[in-house]
Structure 1
Amino acid sequence: MDLTAAKALLYCALGLFVLIAWARERRKRTITGEPEKFWPGTTHAPTGAYFVAAAGAILITIAEAAVEKRTGLTDQQSVLPAIFIFQLLGASIVEEMLFRGFVAPGELFGRKLLALMIVGSLVFALVHNFDLSTPEGKVSALFAFITSLWLYVVRFNPLNPDRSLLPCFMAHTVRNLAVFGIKGAQGFISW
């Protein structure tokens, strides 16, 4: 097994561990009515929150693909091994737990929340380590920033009154799978 495969599988395992631990606390809270303990956002969200979250993630992905196509950046993408999908799945959980969970307390409102959303999204885009000296890197970083803003909106909007992380997990997973699907359709996934 090469390093890329090992990294992808480890990231997926970490995401699965986090999701299971989070789900256990959520289930316990549902049964006992206890307050939130270690894991943030262990609440329920109405069905509409999931649909809006997924729709936004898909629209952002379509917009990114359109910008890449219009600017001629599509052919400059790197080829990813198919096993990378496991890393994308793990990342959708781990990144949400970090950026929309631990770093974003559910009690924030107003200017503090807005500042967190902007600074958190900037850090989110930078953590993805896109090469900002290239046009493709700049476009990817911009859409990572936009995606992060959207994911904060998913957690902190009226459709998610209890500020559950479930719609965030789902939206990020949908986004990552859509990116993988587009890359696959364009021939940038090595099977």
Structure 2
Amino acid sequence: MNENPLMILLYVGVAVYVGNMYREDYKASRSGQPNSGAMPGATAVSVGAYVVGVIGALLLLGLETGGEIALGVADEQSQMVWFFVFAIVAAGVVEEVIFRGFLVVENKGRALLIASCVGFSLIFAIIHAHFWSTEDGFEWTFTAKAFLSTGILFANSLWFYAIRFGPWNPNRSIFPCMLAHAASNLGVFVVKLVQGYVVF
């Protein structure tokens, strides 16, 4: 994602706008008069689903960090400007609405649900662009770090789908997915900060 402050501000603005739409749909659902065109997953959920989601996301982050250390690729981290933290928290809303909200095949049977979760998780992982770089012109980067990061992104996406469609979330609320995604991204920021890859 672009680290231009104006682009980050725009991205955060989109997240706030979408979040407000969800808030309104959630309030309508809680009042017993749900909106007919409500955003997907704007439903109530237990606190337990939030806890399960965040713990799983942080365990995957721990696995990624440990994997980087074990493979000796921890020093291949990309740098991040400090204010990018706002964009990565906003991504917890925007990316969840796109992937766990709209890019999933619901109500067509369990097989199609699972297949769509796997397929869109693969897309989710690949579009994060660890397999290529455009810093000095386009070049492929099929490195151990790229495979690890892409694999973890794939696992994260599967986990976020599991949070939404798992038995702990009978109303298929998207809110625990948003919180787990934001917690994972904040965790990445903290790891980069501790390792000295956040630029102030």
Whether these two folds match at TM > 0.5 is yes
Q: Is 1:41–1:106's contact at 8 Å kept on the other side of the alignment?
A: no
Deviation at 1:106, TM superposition (A): 4.7
1:72-94, Cα deviation, whole Å (9 max, x unpaired):
11101111100111110111101
2:180 is matched with which residue? Answer: 171
Alignment of 1:47-66 (within 5 A): 47-66=47-66
Gaps of 5+ in 1: none
Structure 1 length normalisation: TM-score? 0.94
**RMSD value over aligned CA atoms?**
1.6
Q: Which residue of 163, 166, 171 maps to 1:154?
A: 163
Which stretch of the first structure deviates more once superposed, 44-53 or 106-115?
106-115
Structure 1 CA distance for aligned equivalents of residues 129 and 186 of structure 2? 19
1:130-188, Cα deviation, whole Å (9 max, x unpaired):
12522222111111000000000000011100000010011001100011111111111
Structure 2 CA distance for aligned equivalents of residues 54 and 109 of structure 1? 27
Any idea what SS the aligned residue of 1:83 has? helix
Q: How many residues are aligned here?
A: 190
1:44-68, Cα deviation, whole Å (9 max, x unpaired):
1111111100000000000000000
Letter of the aligned partner of 2:59 in structure 1?
L
Q: Is 2:3–2:81's contact at 8 Å kept on the other side of the alignment?
A: no
Structure 2 CA distance for aligned equivalents of residues 56 and 83 of structure 1? 26
Gaps of 5+ in 2: 132-140
2:83 is matched with which residue? Answer: 83
1:186 is matched with which residue? Answer: 195
Identity of aligned residues (%): 33
Deviation at 1:35, TM superposition (A): 5.2
Structure 2 CA distance for aligned equivalents of residues 112 and 178 of structure 1? 32
Deviation at 1:6, TM superposition (A): 2.0
Deviation at 1:26, TM superposition (A): 1.2
* Compared CA separation, residues 179 and 65, structure 1 to 2 (3 A): same
1:84-116, Cα deviation, whole Å (9 max, x unpaired):
111101111010001000122553541111101
